[in-house]
Amino acid sequence: MKDTIWEALLGVDARITYIDAGGIRTRALVAGSGPPLIFLHGNMGHLETFYRNIRAHAEHFTVYSIDMVGHGFSAKPLDRDYLPPTYAEHVRDFADAIGAKKIAISGESLGGWVAGWFAQAYPERTAALVLNTAGGLSAYPEVMDRIKRLNRAAIANPTTETVRTRLESLMYDKSVVTDELIEIRRTIYALPEMRDVLERILVLQDMDTRRKYMFTEEQLGRISAPTCVIWTTHDPTAPVSVGEKYAAWIKGAKLHVMENCGHWPQFEDTPTFNKIHIDFLREALA
């Protein structure tokens, strides 16, 4: 396993760019060729969430790993709350900007919630869907409180220690968190505008707001795209039963449970994740 982003992308035709998506300056890592695949990170995340997955996927797809609106180095407008429809509209605008009529979309955590929202709101634009330890079907007060506490601490005082604690909360094996990943996230969290947008991003950790935007069986029943649900044995946000519910409510969805991983299976067990993910997408997009 390559331990730095530079090593992971050596020899890959990849670039970091900024794309205007409906007026939102959006940072994107673009690599490969083939059908468009968009990766979406989780709450307070950024495109580097998927750096260990880019090389393998770029052999088959045009990969776009993006900073969602309000996150990373993308624009952080303060004239909106950051809700699933808001994020999904940003993804739609991004797809428009790259000229993609249909996309494969793969989201982790909040990104999975957004991907699912996109797939049920824009079925005609969705070629395939991957829900990776996705939000949208669970509302556990202790999890929501932990997310608020760790994010607020890391933004108020973005030190190596506070950011490490935030990242380690996602992992089953804490040792997989790299110094490079900590420094990237620390740099993002130190941006002055992150303090301004933080509480708007955390709105989905408010119980009343969260429940308003959780998926219903009817909404997930609207998803017509081939769907893969990936869950883990040690996800700190929700048990496997939540992944089973996704798979039951989305017609034809396939569930894969990865062993000995937490909330970032794409990072914690990259070879297994890549095989599941690529095999599914190649079949779905054939």
C-alpha 91/C-alpha 74 separation (Å) is: 13
Residue 92 lies in a domain: yes
Two tokens, residue 135: 């939000």
Can you give the pTM of this predicted structure?
A: 0.98
- Taking alpha carbons only, the member of 202, 98, 87 closest to residue 148 is 202
Q: Is 195 contained in some domain?
A: no
Tokens of 111: 């990104």
Cα–Cα dist 125/15, whole Å: 25
Q: Which of 159, 156, 166 is nearest to 183 (CA)?
A: 159
Cα(100)–Cα(96) distance, rounded to whole angstroms? 6
Is 135 a domain residue? yes
Element (H, E) at 189: helix 179-189
Note whether residue 188 is domain-resident. Answer: no
Buried b (16+ CB within 10 A) or exposed e, 99-125: ebebbbbbbbbbbbbbbbbbbbbbeeb
On whether the CB atoms of residues 91 and 112 are closer than 8 A, the answer is no
Q: What is residue 1's predicted lDDT score, i.e. its pLDDT? A: 46
**What type of residue sits at position 14?**
A
Residue 117 belongs to what domain range? 5-140+216-284
Note the pLDDT of residue 81.
Answer: 87
pLDDT tens digits along 123-149: 999 999 999 999 999 999 999 999 999
d(CA 270, CA 236): 18
Tell me how crowded residue 157 is: count the other CB atoms within 10 A of its CB: 12
Say if 248 falls within a structural domain: yes
Look up the CATH number of the domain holding residue 72. Answer: 3.40.50.1820
pLDDT in tens, 32-80: 999 999 999 999 999 999 999 999 999 999 999 999 999 999 999 999 8
In a domain, 42, yes or no: yes
- Number of structural domains (the chain) is 1
From the list 64, 59, 43, the residue with the least C-alpha distance to 134 is 43
CB–CB of 66/117 below 8 Å?
no
Q: Is residue 160 part of a domain?
A: no
List the beta bridge partners of residue 229. Answer: 131, 255
DSSP strands (E only) in 109-253: 126-132, 227-232
The reply to whether 32 falls in a domain is yes
pLDDT at res. 3: 80
* Model pLDDT, residue 221: 96
Sheet strands (E) in the chain: 14-21, 24-32, 36-40, 62-66, 103-108, 126-132, 227-232, 254-258
Q: Which residue has the tokens 């740099």?
A: 187
Residues of the chain with confidence (pLDDT) below 50: 1
